[in-house]
Amino acid sequence: MIGESMYQELILEHYKHPQGRGLREPYDAEVHHVNPTCGDEITLRVKVGDAGRIEDVSYDGQGCSISQAAASVLHELTAGSTVEETLSVVDEFTRLMQGRGQVEADEDVLGDAVAFAGVAKFPARVKCALLSWMAYKDAVVRSASR
Amino acid sequence: MTYPTSLDVERIRKDFPVLSRELPGGRPLVYLDSGNSSQKPTPVVETVREHLAMHYSNVGRAMHALGAESTEAYESARDKVAAFVGAPSRDEVIFTKNASEALNLVAHAFGPHLWGSSGEGTDPRFALGPGDEIVISEMEHHSNIVPWQLLVQRTGASLKWFGVTDEGRLDLSDLDELVTERTKIVSIAHQSNVLGTVNPVADVLRRAREVGALVMLDASQSVPHHPVDVAALGVDFVAFTGHKMLGPSGIGVLWGRGELLEAMPPFLGGGEMIEAVWMDHSTYAPIPHKFEAGTPPIVEAIGLGAAVDYLQGIGMDAIEAHERELTAYALEALREVPTLRLIGPETLDRRGATLSFTLEGIHPHDVGQILDDSFGIAVRVGHHCARPLHLRFGIPATTRASFYLYNTTGEIDALVRGLHHVQKVFA
């Protein structure tokens, strides 16, 4: 049962009950990212408040449990943090995902996102996990250039 | 080797060593992805190995013993393929690298060309420009869409589409409006790689003939599974591929009516496709070699010949009957899976052994992953290179099980058990 190690309870919970789903106003930047190999897609908006704190990450999209749960976890992790803090989480998550299952996850940095560690062993699914996180990174860069 | 009409599947499975291997974690392999690519029987593997080990050299141009043996083996593969699909002449069988290349080859023939050695223009049947039309369908594989899109972009012609009914049939209600005097060619799947639907070729052909249009079939999903006779079908071009019919990858086939192939311009230029080359022009080899530039996929073609021998040894009628039994069984078994929505015909009428479906609330990538990781069941998930068809049904992707001569009803039971488990994980 290799597969179930990827489908952690926490991932399934986020998939069934996504946090912060739905596009909201106001926002500073909106991006649309797709994964052409499987057709997963996400539209994501970022609202940055005073002192560079993330006020809201709202999103909508469709795709597999991994891509949708990753967006939900992203929403939770970014809320109330500074842009800088969130980008270091994105970097750590990216490092974990691209580590082919050989990288030890830093749970202090990643929080719930550590549940995706098992996905790193499935190269075909890494892009699913990273879809919303890459969209977020893109949106933050665009919001800063406004 | 002859088999009774009801296949001795256990004996056939022994010819496919991969079917008895274990996957990591001790999972048995349940291979339900032959519509994607089929497994290879020992006689094919051995023929390829034997040729590479003992007879290999280039074909058509080497003046030595090995050259003769290689050429003989390569050309006799052409004879086998020609006989297998009922081609009136062996010279009408063009070896390509896959069905996509065969489709591109025909699409490339259209347009304004000035190619003849004495400078004559395009044969009127292949002259294409603004105002001319090409008709395909919504159920096509991308390889029977994109070459035509590229062609209309090059020439200013237009692309028209047959729709697909809710039941997954070709919608011919507007056949006479779609296929008109402006139509130069109609190109459709013989059997859909997603729906399993077998299309009514004769109806389309009748209308095409009325208006003087050519007809091409993408037979990638039919030639491996049914007896196919290109002369009886009466169409102009048929494309299929070796790797879906027990042969190696890297070898495909275009069959075309000889006089059309002769009227078409060459596709790729290079060695072996010429008659003579001067600095200012060249003349071309007769068919089939006119369309086989460069060193061809030699052992791949020879392997395909061995695959044809194997299929004929078992009998295409027997294979078709076996797949029909499996399809009947699967249609019934899948009905018991809650929320399963079959995309394609729900009866055995004019359909092959390809079943695509969705499960409510569960993405096909998750379905495929759990089937594989927990049970060793190999299915295909995604849009199966038929994105317009999935858009037509308002879904991003499906899970597809496709069967072949070596599959069993026990494997369909395993699939159903697997789907129940998937639903438990996501309950």
Contact check, Cβ <8 Å, B365/A125:
yes
Residue B2 in domain: no
Same domain, B196 and B305: yes
Whether A39 and B372 lie within 8 Å, measured CB to CB: no
Tell me if B373 and A1 make a contact (CB, 8 A cut-off). Answer: yes
Task: Give the active site residues of B.
Answer: 385
Mean pLDDT, rounded, for B92-99: 98
Residue that has been written with the tokens 């010819």 in this structure: B15
Residue of B nearest to A1 (CA): B374
Q: What is the mean pLDDT of residues B369-382?
A: 95
Based on the fold, state whether residues B261 and B361 are members of the same structural domain. no
- Write out chain A residues lying below 8 Å of B364, CB-based: 64
Q: In whole angstroms, what is the distance from residue B338 CA to residue B197 CA?
A: 24
Task: State whether B149 and B293 are in the same domain.
Answer: yes
* pLDDT over threshold 50, residue B146: yes
Report chain A residues whose CB lies below 8 A from the CB of B387: 39
First-to-last alpha carbon distance for chain B, in angstroms, is: 49
Per-residue tokens: B294:
């460069």
Find, among B256, B324, B326, the residue nearest to B291 by Cα: B256
**CATH code at position A116:** 3.90.1010.10
- Whether B37 is in a domain gets the answer no
What Rg do the C-alpha atoms of chain A give, in angstroms? 14
B1 occurs within a structural domain: no
pLDDT surpassing 50 at residue B74: yes
Q: With 90 as the cut, is the pLDDT of residue B147 above it?
A: yes
B124: cis peptide before it, omega within 30°? no
Is A35 part of the contact surface with chain B (CB cutoff 8 Å)? no
- Of all residues in chain B, the one with the smallest CA distance to A66 is B366
Picking from B7, B31, B9, B8, the residue whose alpha carbon sits closest to that of residue B18 is: B31
Q: Do B382 and A64 touch (CB under 8 A)?
A: no
Instruction: Give the span between the Cα atoms of B426 and B379, in whole angstroms.
Output: 19
Asked if A4 and B24 come within 8 Å (Cβ–Cβ), the reply is no
If you average pLDDT over every residue of chain B, what do you get? Answer: 95
Same domain? For B292 and B337 the reply is no
Residues of chain A contacting B397 with CB distance shorter than 8 Å: 38-39
**Residue B201's domain is classified under what CATH number?**
3.40.640.10
| Distance between B357 CA and the closest CA of chain A, angstroms | 15
Q: What is the CATH number of the domain that holds B393?
A: 3.90.1150.10
Q: Give residues 112 to 141 of A whose Cβ lies within 8 Å of B.
A: 122, 125, 128
- Domain count for chain A, please give it: 1
**Which of B94, B99, B124 shows the shortest CA–CA distance to B111?**
B124
Same domain, B365 and B247: no
Q: Both tokens of residue B259? A: 């006089």
* Mean pLDDT over each residue of chain A, to the nearest integer: 91
3-state secondary structure of A20: coil
Contacts of A125 in chain B (CB under 8 A): 365, 369
In this structure, is residue A26 part of a structural domain?
Answer: yes
DSSP assigned state of A64: -
Across the interface, whether the CB atoms of B372 and A64 are under 8 A apart is answered no
B123 pLDDT more than 60: yes
Mean per-residue pLDDT for A60-89?
Answer: 94
Last residue of a domain, one of B263, B295, B312: B312
For residue A4, give the nearest of B364, B374, B383 by CB distance: B374
Residue of B nearest to A63 (CA): B363
Within 41-60 of A, beta carbons closer than 8 Å to B belong to: none
What lies within 8 Å, CB to CB, of B289 at 6+ separation is: B60, B272, B273
Q: Does residue A146 surpass a pLDDT of 90?
A: no
A94-116: per-residue pLDDT in tens?
Answer: 999 999 888 888 888 898 899 99
pLDDT digits 0-9 by tens, B257-268: 999 999 999 999
Identify how many contiguous H helices and E strands chain B contains and give both numbers. 14, 18
Strands (DSSP E) along B158-268, which ranges? 158-164, 170-171, 183-189, 214-218, 237-241, 252-256
State whether A3 and B374 contact (CB < 8 Å): yes
Whether residue B363 and residue A65 make contact (CB cut-off 8 A), yes or no, is yes
Chain A, nearest residue to B365 by Cα: A64
Alpha-carbon span B41 to B246, nearest angstrom: 7
**Chain B residue with the nearest C-alpha to that of A122:** B369
CB-CB neighbors (< 8 A) of B400 in chain A: none
Q: Which residues of A touch B372 (CB under 8 A)?
A: 3
Q: Does A12 sit within 8 Å of B383, measured CB to CB?
A: no
Contacts of A12 in chain B (CB under 8 A): 425-426
- Top residue of B366, B380, B398, B424 to mutate, by most chain A CBs within 10 Å, is B366
Model ipTM? Answer: 0.85
Do B208 and B136 share a structural domain? yes
- Domain range enclosing B400: 9-31+315-425
pLDDT level of residue A144 (50, 70, 90 thresholds) = confident
Statement to judge: residues B198 and B94 lie in one domain: yes
Structure confidence at residue B4 as a pLDDT band (50, 70, 90): very low
Q: Tokens at residue B222, please? A: 């039919």
Q: Do B374 and A16 touch (CB under 8 A)?
A: no
Residues B321 and B364 both lie in one domain: yes
Do residues A39 and A26 touch, judged by C-beta distance below 8 A?
Answer: no
Q: Any CB–CB contact under 8 A between A75 and chain B?
A: no
Which residue of chain A has the CA closest to B27? A1
Residue range B79-88, pLDDT digits in tens: 999 999 999 9
User: Using CA atoms, how far apart are residues A59 and B29, in angstroms rounded to an integer?
Assistant: 39
Tokens 């026990």 belong to B410
Does B378 share its domain with B258?
no
| B165 pLDDT tier (thresholds 50, 70, 90) | very high
Residue A122 domain boundaries: 3-141
Domain total of chain B: 2
Q: Looking at residues B314-326, what average pLDDT do you find? A: 97
In a domain, A146, yes or no: no
Residues B320 and B308 in one domain: no
**Minimum distance, in Å, between the CA of residue B190 and any CA atom of chain A:** 26
What count of CB pairs under 8 Å joins A to B?
53
Using CA atoms, how far apart are residues B359 and B338, in angstroms rounded to an integer?
8
Indicate the residue among B258, B281, B312 that finishes a domain: B312
Look at residues B312, B332, B360 and tell me which one is the last residue of a structural domain.
Answer: B312
At B119 the pLDDT is 52
Going along B80-182, which residue ranges are E strands?
A: 93-96, 133-137, 158-164, 170-171
Please tell me whether residues B292 and B365 are part of one structural domain.
Answer: no
Question: What band does A2 get if pLDDT is binned at 50, 70 and 90?
Answer: very low
Q: How confident is the model at residue A3 (pLDDT cuts 50, 70, 90)?
A: very low
- Whole-number percent of chain B with pLDDT over 90: 94
Same domain for B306 and B325?
no
CB contact (8 A) between residue B369 and residue A62: no
A36 in reach of chain B (CB within 8 A):
no
Q: Do B365 and A12 touch (CB under 8 A)?
A: no
pTM strictly above 0.90: yes
